Amino acid sequence: MRTTQRMSSIAGWALTAMAALAAAFVLSVIPIQAWAAVNCATVLAASDSGADADSDGLTDFQECGGITLANGDSFPSCVASTANPTPPSDRSLCLHPDTKDLFAIYAPASGSLLPAGYRPFDPETVYGVTFTGFEQIAVTVHQITPLQAFPDRAVTGASPQKAVKVAESLDTNGTILGYCQWGTPMGLDGCTIYTQRIRNFVSSTCGTLQVVTPGGAASTLDQVFLAYAKHTFLHEVGHSTGGLAAAYNSSYGGYHYKCGAGNRMEQCVTYTTKGGKCSFKIAPGWNTSLDPAAVKLK
C-alpha cells in the first residue's frame, strides 16, 4: 500500500508516510550548465545595473562584490578583487555571478531530534546513501540562521531576494512528514519538516526487523531516520525552488516523479520488509536531465 502526496487549499506540497515495492535507481552524471562568464572587474567599476546573469535574484554587482546580511555579517564574493583579494575556496561560503546562489534558513526545534550544528543541505553520506545536496542541479545553498535574515526572509537590505526558511517541528498529530509551498523563495513562508513523525514512521515500519541499507549492509534506525530527514529537507525545499519536477503530473500528486523513480522529487520513498529485514530506498540525487532547467529562484 502507499499513501500519496496531498495538496492543501493553499497549493503547498507535503511529503507523507508511504510504502511501495522497492525500486532500483541509478545516479546520473552531473551536468555542467553553461553560463556566460561575468567580468567582475567591469561590473564593480560601474554602479549596480540590476543585471542578474544567473537569474538567482542577486545581482551581478552583489555577487561580484559581496553582500551584508541582515545581522551585519558580511558574505563575500567567490571572485577575487581589490577589496576581496583572498575569497573563500569553499563555494558554500561565497557568492558567484555565474551560478545560482540560494540562501536557506534552518530553524531547529527546541529539543531537536537532529544533531547539533545540523546542515540539511550539505552533501553527505548517511545510511549508505550519498546525498548530493543542490550542487547536482547547479545551485549552491548557503545555510544561515534566522537572525541572519530579515523578518520577511530578505537576505540583505540591498536586495528583495528572500531565503527559503525551513523549520523543524516535533508535532506528532498527522501523517505528513514535510511541507513547503510550491513556487520560489519569494513566495509564502511555511516550510516545515516533522522529524518526530519521520522517526515514528521509520520505527513503526521496521519494528523488530533487522535494519539494512539499500545495499544490504547492517544499519540502525538512527541512520534511517537521519537519511529520511535529509531527503525530506531537500525534497521539500525543491518545491520552493521552482517545483521542482519538470512538469505537473496529477497522477503523481503534482510536481513529482512516480514513486520509485530513484530521484529526489519522486512522489514517495519506497521500502521493503521481507526476509526479516527492513530497508528504505531513499534516492541519493535529482533528475539531472530535467530538474536543473526547472529551477526558479525569483
Residue 180 in any domain: the answer is: yes
223-234 mean pLDDT: 97
Q: Is the pTM of this model over 0.75?
A: yes
Q: Which structural domain range is residue 132 located in? A: 12-33+99-294
199-208 mean pLDDT: 97
How many structural domains are present in the chain? 1
For every residue of the chain, DSSP letters joined together read: ------B-TT-EEEEE----------PPPPPPPP-PPP-HHHHHHS------TT-SSS-HHHHHH-EE-TTS-EE-BSS--SS-SS--SSGGGSB-TTSEEEEEEEEPPTT-SSPTT--TTS-EEETTEEE-TTGGGTEEEEEE-GGGS-TT-EEETTEEEE-EEEEEE---SSSEEEEEESS-TTS---EEEEHHHHHHHHHHHHTTSEEB-TTS-B--HHHHHHHHHHHHHHHHHHHTTT-SSSS-BGGGTBS-BPTTS-STTBSS-EEEEETTEEEEE---S--TTTHHHH----
Residue 263 in any domain: the answer is: yes
Residue 28 in any domain: the answer is: yes
- pLDDT class of 36 with cuts at 50, 70, 90: low
- pLDDT class of 209 with cuts at 50, 70, 90: very high
Residue 272 in any domain: the answer is: yes
Residue 70 in any domain: the answer is: no
Residue 117 in any domain: the answer is: yes
Q: Indicate whether 35 pLDDT > 80.
A: no
